[in-house]
Structure formats: structure tokens, C-alpha cells
Amino acid sequence: MRDFLSLLEERNQLKRITDPVDPSIELAAISDRVLGMGGPALLFENVKGSKIPVAINLMGTLERVVWSMGLESPEELEDLGRKLALLQQPKPPKGLKDFRAFGSVLWDLMMARPDIDLTPPCQQQIIREKDLNLYELPLIRPWPKDAGGIITLGLVITKDPETKIPNIGVYRLQCQSAKTMTVHWLSVRGGARHLRKAAELGKKLEIAIAIGVHPLVVMAAATPIPVQLSEWLFAGLYAGEGIRLTRCKTIDLQVPSHSEIVLEGTITPGEELEDGPFGDHMGFYGSVEKSPLIRFQCITHKKDPIFLTTFSGRPPKEEAMLAIALNRIYTPVLRQQIPEIVDFFLPMEALSYKVAIISIDKAYPGQAKRAAMAFWSALPQFTYTKFVIVVDSSINVRDPRQVVWVISSQVDPQRDLFILENTPFDSLDFASENIGLGGRLAIDATRKIGPEKRHEWGEPLFRSKELEEKIDTKMEELGLSDFQTNEPDPSLFGYVIESLLSKKLMKNS
């Protein structure tokens, strides 16, 4: 993380704040204003109640997310996605080009294997259970009615009690006492699966929280990968070299050796406390829920550690910027699983996962419904997508004007809406009649063909590419070219970012 902070400072994308700032409400409110303006990452060096500085907004722009992955331009994200697609569903090479691509990925995998650090910086200072006090950490409280101080960007590390394969996730943790926290994770997440297995075996679940890691490791933890693979390997793929790990002092788990702070503890199955309410990514306060209780017995950290954090709420937020980058990385993975999908987009304004717009090369009746069903089951991240809008490949999924037009002109609600009832759902989505159980809606906004229609459809208005180029020249001759714009409404922040990125990608290809 410190390397990344140095990079941001070199590029004038880091602001150090030396004035005293309260971690309750004030710190997040200031950060929210700065992020909303597209401002720099912030390092609060004088946080009230703690000796530890706080870093926030490190990934508050798409540009900084790209830099965190060792890339210089957003166009490179899909190249990374193609590597992941090969790993998700490897296919036998059919020619020399395929052999080279597959061989390249295998070499990258070899280089990405984790390495062991015998002198880890994260263990320069060791605090045992009797001296452990979580209140000395600069735990932020982002919203006025939040229940308490939280950890938001810590890697939550557990291990399958049977296979010993680790899972690394990013979940919210609420401080409950000087030595305990609750962890809020959904039942489908890896940590929750490991806890259920531990309960069946009558064992405690060991858990480690690594705070202040390099942002690309956070990205790896957020990437959908096969259950049998480790996020450490994917972090190595992102980094181009293996992540250096070290074994915890009191439990049998490995953590990144460059972590600023590491918390080591255990969960006793069935031991829970009330967690929440907290402001969440839906833009509302979540409900109070019983959540697993972690009892910590050790903290290790670097000398003079830095606490990395973030906060949730209505976009734009850091998590939305991560989602834009992941959207690009997912695209080749999704195309490999569902070949008819040309492109897809998860609008930031729809929380980066509640609405998906997918375009297809339509070839047969009913294909839009098939594509929507396939999308919902393609990756774990799409399990909680509430609305899927399917459009033809001629529609730019990142232009809300085109999407709204095609829904208005090509959808008949009594024919083109498809609802799945009572499916597993996001427990944070209180719009559902039953928490954790809700419906999904697919909208077929494609042009209807064959038995899908009972009369001839109108012919779409169209100008040839040659004519458009001729008009471009004429506009310049008439002095009217300065008035041309094809950008979406700038108030739609996420759409603007994605539209610009899409045009760069299209131009390069």
C-alpha cells in the first residue's frame, strides 16, 4: 500500500491532511465530498483518538483503480479479463495462436504463485491478547445512525476446514468490545460456507483480518473465481508476480506480509451478536442482524502503521469505481460462458449490480430470455442482479438515451417482461417482500423476429457510414462541428465514465 501511496503522491493524486479530524462522521463526510468532485486520495495524519493515520479514497477514480493494477490505461483491463476467461473455462488449443495464448497464461500462473516471507514487515510489532485493544484503531463511523466503529477494507481470510483452500473476502466488521467484532457476510460467501463446515465438524473457525494491503489484492478478493482456486493466485496474476505471504502468529492462516495491520482470531459457531444498523451501498441504513462474533487474541502490525478504509453509500463511492473496472474484466469471462453476449454494462447509478444491460447478436426467437437466464447464473456476482435488460448489438449499452429509447419503442409489457419469483436475494434489499427472497425481472428490448411478432415491424431510421462521414465533413465546412456531441447527460456520472472508456476501446480495436 505504501508503494501505491508513493505513486499517487508522485502523480499529484494524494493529499495529506495534518489538521485533527474526528473518525466519527467527520472523516467520511470530508472524504465523500472530495470523492464526489473526482478529487485525490486522502491521508489523514492526525485522527482524533488514535495514533494511526487513515488512508481513504485511494481508488476513488477509475484512473487510480487502473494504476493500482499496474496498468496505465483502462483499455488494458479486458486483456486481463481474457486471461481470467481462459482460467475460468480452459479450452483445448485449436491452433498455434491458441497454443501461444494458453502457454502465456500458464507461464503467468507459474509467476503468480505465492511466496513465503520469513521476515514479514506486518509482524514488526506484536500485541498479545491481554494488551489487545481494538479501540486504539481509528475505526471510522461514516453515517450519523451507524451502530459503531467499523473495518471496511480489511481482507477477511478463512480456510475450508476440509480442503484447506483459503477464501479471501472483503466484508464489514463492527467493533463490539475491546477484543471482539462481528462480521457481516452473506450466506453464499466463502467465509460463511467455511463457518458452516466448521460447525458440522464441531470446530472453531480461524479468521484473520489484513488491513492496509496493496489495492490490487482487494481487487483480487472482489473478482469472481472458481471455488477451488485461491485469491492469492489471482492477486499474483494481477501483480505479475507472486504475493508474499506469511503465517499468522497464533492461527494457521497466511496473510500478505506487507499488510499494515493484522488481526488474528476465531469464531465459535453459533456465537453471534446484533450487528448494525449501518449505511450501506443501497443508500439506506441496513437492518440489525445477528452476525458471527470474532474473538481476537493477537494483533500484529508494521512500525507506524497506516489504516486503510472506505465507506458505503449511494454512488459514486470507491466500491463503484472498483465495479467499473471489474465490469471490464468480467466481460471476456462472460462472453466465454455466454457466446451470444456482445457487451454488458452494470450502471453505477444502479449500485453496479442491481441492473444489467446486455447486448446480443440475436439469431432466433426467445434468445433474449435465454441470455437473461444465462446471465443470472454465469457468475456469483450476478446472483443478486434484480433487472436484466436485453438489447440488440446495435445499441450502445453505456448510453442511457439509446437504452431508454429501445425499451420505449420495442417493448410490449404484456409480452416482453419475464419475472422469476421467490429467488435467493440480497438481504440488504428491503424492497423485497421477504428479506432474502425476491423476484427478478428480464426485459426483452430486442427487435422481435419469427413467431415473436404477429405483424411487420417498422423499418428503423438509418444513415450509412459513408453518409455520416460526408455530413461530418460538411459540418466542419459550415463551422458547426463545435456543436457536435455524442456524450450522455453528464449528470449520469457512471455512464459518462463508461461511455468514454467504451469509445477508447472501440477506437483501439
Catalytic residues, which ones?
Answer: 280
Q: Which amino acid is at 456?
A: E
Nearest 5°: the CA angle 441, 392, 373 is 35
> Could you give the C-alpha distances from 402 to 71, 357, 391, 497, in angstroms and in order?
31, 11, 10, 16
| Neighbouring residues of 484: CB distance < 8 A, sequence distance ≥ 6 | 475
Q: Which amino acid is at 70?
A: G
Output the DSSP codes for 21-79.
B-TBTHHHHHHHHHHHTT--EEEES-BTT-SS-EEE-TT-SHHHHHHHTT-SSGGGHHH
Output the DSSP codes for 454-466.
SSPPPPPP---HH
Query: Within a 10 A sphere around the Cβ of 50, how many other Cβ atoms?
Result: 15
- Contact between residue 378 and residue 478 where contact means Cβ atoms under 8 Å apart: no
d(CA 53, CA 1) in angstroms, rounded, equals: 13
Q: Give the H/E segment covering residue 261.
A: strand 261-275
The x, y and z cell numbers of residue 279, run together, are 449505511
Phi and psi, residue 385, nearest 5°: -75, 120
d(CA 243, CA 215) in angstroms, rounded, equals: 12
Nearest 5°: the CA angle 255, 258, 263 is 45
d(CA 396, CA 503) in angstroms, rounded, equals: 10
Query: Within a 10 A sphere around the Cβ of 24, how many other Cβ atoms?
Result: 16
Q: 3-class DSSP state for residue 489?
A: coil
Beta strand 261-275 with 289-301: parallel, antiparallel or unpaired?
antiparallel
Q: Give the H/E segment covering residue 15.
A: strand 14-17
| Neighbouring residues of 36: CB distance < 8 A, sequence distance ≥ 6 | 316
Q: Which amino acid is at 44?
A: F
- Contact between residue 312 and residue 319 where contact means Cβ atoms under 8 Å apart: yes
d(CA 362, CA 449) in angstroms, rounded, equals: 9
Q: Which amino acid is at 82?
A: R
Beta strand 289-301 with 180-184: parallel, antiparallel or unpaired?
antiparallel
Query: Within a 10 A sphere around the Cβ of 335, how many other Cβ atoms?
Result: 18
